[in-house]
Homo-oligomer: A and B are copies of this chain.
Amino acid sequence: MRLSLRTAEVIAVGSELLGWTRVDTNSLFLSERLASLGIQLTLKTVAGDDRDRLADVFRHALDRADLVVLTGGLGPTDDDVTRGVVAAVLELPLIEDPSIVERIERRFARRGLRMPEINRRQALVPKGATVLENANGTAPGLLIEAGVRVVVLLPGPPRELQPMMEALVSGALAERATAERLYRRVILITGRSESHVEEAVQSLYSSWRTASPPIETTILASPGQIELHLTARAPSAAAAQAALASATAQVRDAIGDDVFSTDGRSLEEIVGDLLRSRHLTIAVAESCTGGLLLSRLTDIAGSSDYVLGGVVAYSNAAKTQFLDVSANLIAAHGAVSEPVAVAMAEGIRSGTSSDVGVAVTGIAGPGGGTPQKPVGTVAIAAVGSDGLARVRTLLFPGGRAMVKFQASQAGLDMVRKMLIAGC
């Protein structure tokens, strides 16, 4: 009886992945493919071309994980150390496989070339290993049974690695996986801090962890957005999806309308879909966000169906000219004020004859703050198809880019809440 595979570690091999220009993206693909089999990626390592260090991390990975996947370092040169290190650690002799030599020779011959002698190294196979064919390159992959562990070696280039991994996922690895699979749901929240979300939902965590099927939770905070990732492990998709749906409903009950997405859609997509389903159009008046709010709305394919356009009125003169905001109003309240935000939203709505108008005016910094209106102060207004204005003033932490993003997020969210209220 062989061990079922539950945990995996990935070791990406290649000194170029330790510099400052390249990240290992293969591991994202591998993580997702492994999860589909219920195999959890528990650790990733990026190692250079140093044999001793690679041997060390490979040995430790074997101690911890059921499955170790090594990517890269299978080329023909001296720098390509993976095959040799794995064979040495597992104490397996490397034996030249004449059928691989022949296959590599044929690959070169098709391009009218003779195989360089160094490529012969790629035909070395640790004794007992299964050879994984590479349709898109010279380096074959390898699958090795190492006691109760499984070790897989894949080439680094994604177009070689991916089809080989797909073949494993529907073949050798599927046979070794448990009946259980992982299913996931991402809940997106805005308008609250991480600690406030945590406070609201942490009593749920422990009940989920002991439920059947159990649900694991990860909370991810970035300015303007909190993500709750729920993962259920279950033998049946139906049971997992039912558990995730009920957990999602509990989060909605605890947090309410600040939950804006439970199906992977972004805030700009949610707002777009609400506008489209209600046959409404929108126009935007921006100051401190400098076009970001509208740029996000127009990132969505098909947004020209509901976005009419907008104005970025950085200067007071532009606010007056394009948005019909009276100079007296600006003089009386300041450009960053609720009356001006409302006037901007009304101005863009009537100027474009849109159904919805939204406006953002604030101080993105680093300059321009005052004791009364420090950097990060933003007034946001929205006027709906009912012609009524909502307005609020918020204070965002962070630098210029963060204030811009959070202000655009708050503007989109005000529109979303207005639309779900039916206005």
Alpha-carbon gap, A289 to B308, bound state (A): 13
Contact of A301 among B31, B60, B113, B367 (CB under 8 A): B367
Contact of A397 among B48, B111, B219, B321 (CB under 8 A): B111
Task: Using A293-B291, A321-B351, A352-B321 as known contacts, say yes or no to A400 and B299 having CB atoms under 8 A apart.
Answer: yes
Alpha-carbon gap, A420 to B298, bound state (A): 32
Contacts of A23 in B (CB 8 A): 23-25, 27-28
Task: Using A321-B352, A397-B111 as known contacts, say yes or no to A220 and B43 having CB atoms under 8 A apart.
Answer: no
Alpha-carbon gap, A56 to B65, bound state (A): 13
Question: Judging by beta carbons under 8 Å apart, are B398 and A159 in contact?
Answer: yes
Question: Judging by beta carbons under 8 Å apart, are A290 and B294 in contact?
Answer: yes
Alpha-carbon gap, A322 to B297, bound state (A): 20
- Mark each residue of chain A from 353 to 367: 1 if its CB lies under 8 Å from any CB of chain B, else 0: 100000000001111
Question: A410 → chain B, closest Cβ, in Å?
Answer: 14
Which of A74-82, A91-99, A140-148, A239-247 is near enough to bind chain B? Answer: A74-82
Q: How many residues of A contact B (CB 8 A)?
A: 104
Contacts of A118 in B (CB 8 A): 195, 198
Contacts of A16 in B (CB 8 A): 218, 220, 229
Question: Judging by beta carbons under 8 Å apart, are A315 and B308 in contact?
Answer: yes
Question: Judging by beta carbons under 8 Å apart, are A310 and B291 in contact?
Answer: yes
Question: A412 → chain B, closest Cβ, in Å?
Answer: 13
Question: Judging by beta carbons under 8 Å apart, are A20 and B43 in contact?
Answer: no
Contacts of A311 in B (CB 8 A): 309-312, 322
Q: At the interface, yes or no: A302 with Cβ under 8 Å from chain B?
A: yes
